[in-house]
Amino acid sequence: MFSQTLTLDTAFGTNGRTLTSFGVNDSNLPSLTPQPDGRIIACGSYYVGNINQMIVSRYNSNGTIDTSFGTNGKVVAPVGTPLDNEYNSVDVLTSGKIVIAGTNYDTI
């Protein structure tokens, strides 16, 4: 079995963490992927009322938010229906485009 000792990189963000607010409601960014230039893309969900929206943010390699991305480093997209949607996978293509995948719990 392989194992390693994990240590927090305190030079990243503030004491090894970065927090990003999307508003007063619950949000989460469960998926991360690096870009070739060292910046980091994060995606997840933000709950507003009964609508679960897709959120994406980009961070510099030092953990600060990249304010040149979206609006002050964040993109909020109201997609889907007023049901639980999950946006939990992100990848950066060789073209530089960002692809987000998720699940919509719509019923027929």
pLDDT at 106: 65
Please give the Cα distance from 49 to 54 (Å, whole number): 14
In a domain, 79, yes or no: yes
In a domain, residue 6? The reply is no
pLDDT value of position 67 = 96
Is 40 domain-assigned?
yes
Q: Residue 81: what pLDDT?
A: 62
The reply to whether the predicted model has a pTM over 0.75 is yes
**Is residue 4 assigned to a domain?**
no
Domain residues for the domain of 76 are 27-104
Going along 6-97, which residue ranges are E strands?
Answer: 27-34, 40-48, 51-59, 74-77, 85-92
What parts of the chain have a pLDDT lower than 50?
none
59 domain-assigned = yes
Name the domain count of the chain. 1
